[in-house]
Amino acid sequence: MRRVMQVIGLRPEKAEEYRELHRAVPEPVLDRLRRSHIANYSIHLLGDRLFSYFEYHGDDLDADLALMADDPATQEWWRLTAPCQSPVAEAAPGTWWASAEQVFLME
């Protein structure tokens, strides 16, 4: 299992819209996440930054993320959520969410 932690900015004027969208994530989006071997997925808000955490239980994260990106339901979901977000300065060029380095783990 691989733990993934990412961060992205939240546009302050879109904070309530973002919360509302996540109160009812469409089942096809959730199903695609599950079929992409993603579990224990959560998103947290602190100030104007969103922090996501998920556990990946597959063999090829890049391939599973590509399948998600090709999924029409996920594309529609991203069309709704993208205007609420803004990449942080730490994000690599061309990326949306920036991956964080794990520096400690207690199990």
Query: What's the length of the chain?
Result: 107
pLDDT of residue 40: 98
In angstroms, the Cα distances linking 30 to 11, 34, 38, 68, 104 are 24, 6, 9, 11, 29
pLDDT of residue 70: 98
- Ordered domains of the chain (ranges, CATH): 2-99 (3.30.70.1090)
**Do 79 and 71 contact (CB within 8 A), yes or no?**
no
pLDDT of residue 14: 98
Of 26, 82, 74, 72, which is closest to residue 50 (Cα–Cα)? 82
**Cα–Cα distance for residue pair 4/67, rounded to 1 Å:** 18
Question: Residues 6 or more apart from 28 whose CB is under 8 A from it?
Answer: 71, 73, 74
Report the mean per-residue pLDDT for the chain.
97
Q: List, for residues 50-65, the tens digit of each pLDDT value.
A: 999 999 999 999 999 9
